Chain A
Amino acid sequence: MFRLPNLSVHFFLAVYAVIALLPFGIIVLNSFKTRSGIFGDPLSLPDPTTLSTAGYQTLFASTDFVLYIGNSTIITSVSLLFIIGLGACAAYGLLESKTTLSKWTWLLIIVGIMIPLRLGTVGLLELMKGLNLLNSLIGLICIYVAQGLPLAVFIYTEVFRRFPKELIASARMDGLGPAKTLFFIVMPLTRPTTATIAIFSLVPVWNDLWFPLIIAPDPNVRTLTLGVQQFIGQFTVDWQAVLAALSIAMAPAFAIYALISRNFIRNLSAGSIKG
């Protein structure tokens, strides 16, 4: 009576897991085949006649793939750092402050959750031009931090508000100021929240096509997303190189998943967000 329900639950979950992963599997599979193998029978495994790594060879001989991955990594990680750091500080400061001004400031920032930054692109373009930040990693980072702060501040204020007051009081008695309290007491105990914010902020930054396309299209600062689009256009007929490129483009995502899941998701249960 107890086993059967569990099996059916796992069945559905497993089915969707296959749906989620199968498309990637097909791409990676075919990236190791010759062109006739790719077109002849896309769903089969590469056998001795169709096995080929030519695509990967072309790829590594001619693109700046490592540069793009590096750019994306820098932009994402630095943005995340600031979103979490500045967001936590602001949330804590606003809570501690308790004045009317701070309440209105909080509201101002929260409204930002609903303001899609992209709608301000025309104005952003002007701003970047004026600050000389076009085609720079820093320009993109500033934009992404501004984009991610409202949600971070919102979630942190909710969580800090519910933080056990006794712990803060005892920290105060130990002589710790607000900043130290934040960093040494509150943050370590709210790791799941930080993890949630990290995941929510990471995705729109990592995958973004819009801002790199408009603000930073230069080859030097190109992100992975933009770069992949670029060289798919370059190798239109070279299917092996295209599939190899796609396979490699997927690798960082899997790496990020492995990293995050090991450290944070395990703890992501302690009621970090309530409806």
Chain B
Amino acid sequence: MNIHESAEVTREEFKKNTQHKRLKSLTNIGLVAPALSIYLTFSLWPLLNTFRLSLYQTTDSGDRKWVGINQYIELFGNPIWSDQFFNALTNNLQFFGIHVVVQNSIALFLAGLLALVSSRASTFYRGIFFIPTLISVVVVGFVWQLILSPIWGITPNLFDSLGLDHLFAPWLGLESSALITVGLISVWQNVGLPLLLFYSALIAIPQELIEASRLDGLGKWACFWRIKIPLILPTIGVVNILTFIGNFTLSFDLIYAIQGGLAGPSFSTDVMSTFLFRTFFGFQTQLGDHGMGATIATCTFLLILFVVGMYLLLIQRRLRIH
């Protein structure tokens, strides 16, 4: 083969390669495009639009009027709004605290136990623990309302028979205990997901490490604390972040189902998502306010962005090094 002929061959191959590459990129675009378009249309755009809408106010006749950052000034400057905002924020942080301390601890503990039993038993238990999560939040709310109801008598009778009658109180109706009670109900329902995540992480730990620790004389409990948990710290971090985001957005469903739109008693169970709903949708005699609702939504988003950003920058880095 002379130089020209081999050059021809190379040119042919080059053309084929380029064609092949183009086909490949087209395929790749084809693979990515549907997901990207749905995501942009129904997730990114509405969010950006909500931010935009926070700069407008709705008038009586339904039109929109540009007000710039007035609504933000209102939200933080006017006590009528700022009191509600900071009440909701504080409650939400307490709600999150309950979830981190109770829910994620229980999930971690149960996951640890599950890692010790046979695969069959583990599957069996995991299924059971996951059932509350699958049940509709309205059902969960109602069921627990009935169980805790002072009228229906299950909990009062139970406490009575244990001689603890004086400890019983209408927890869902008292400002001092309503938020914690709703928080615990939420924990009861949502243990399943963190449990699955922790469990997957635990069983991904190489057996050799565990056996090595056993040879070193560590019991199961010590092994759990000193070997397993440190190895799954990144997972714990991710779970906590997801819990944070969930508590600030998904908590609405349960609280609305149990305590109603006014998040009583005396707004003690009002969190950011219920505050948002009540503001932009209205409630009873209170008319909805889309502009202010968008403002609250934007603030919540910025808060989440800030916290997650901080976490990724400060903690996740340290954990990776660890």
Contacts and interface: CB of A to CB of B under 8 A. Distances in A.
Interface of A: 5-6, 9-10, 12-13, 16-17, 19-21, 23-24, 26-27, 38-39, 42-43, 82, 86-87, 89-90, 92-94, 96-97, 102, 105, 108-109, 112, 114-124, 126-127, 142-143, 145-147, 149-150, 153, 177-179, 182, 196, 199-200, 203-204, 206-210, 214, 224-225, 228-229, 232, 242, 246, 249-250, 253-254, 256-257, 261, 265-266, 268-269, 271-275
Interface of B: 24-25, 27-32, 34-36, 38-39, 41-50, 52-53, 106, 109-110, 113-114, 116-117, 119, 121, 123, 125-139, 142-144, 146-147, 152-154, 157-158, 188, 191-193, 196-197, 200-201, 203-204, 220, 231-236, 238, 241, 245, 248-250, 252-253, 256-257, 273, 276-277, 280-281, 290, 293-294, 297-298, 300-301, 304-305, 308
The secondary structure that dominates the B interface is helix
A116 B301 contact: yes
A93 B204 CA distance: 27
Nearest to B221: A5
A257 B305 contact: no
Given A114-B308, A116-B304, A117-B43, A275 B201 contact: yes
A93 B28 CA distance: 4
Contacts of A147: 43
A253 to B, nearest CB: 4
A229 B144 CA distance: 15
A196 B241 CA distance: 19
A265 B127 contact: yes
A145 B38 contact: yes
Contacts of B32: 89-90, 93-94, 97, 102, 105
Contacts of B290: 122
28 contacts: A12-B109, A13-B110, A16-B129, A20-B188, A39-B152, A43-B158, A93-B29, A93-B30, A94-B32, A109-B35, A116-B304, A123-B52, A126-B49, A127-B45, A142-B41, A145-B38, A146-B39, A196-B196, A206-B136, A209-B138, A210-B252, A242-B142, A246-B142, A249-B138, A257-B131, A269-B119, A275-B232, A275-B234
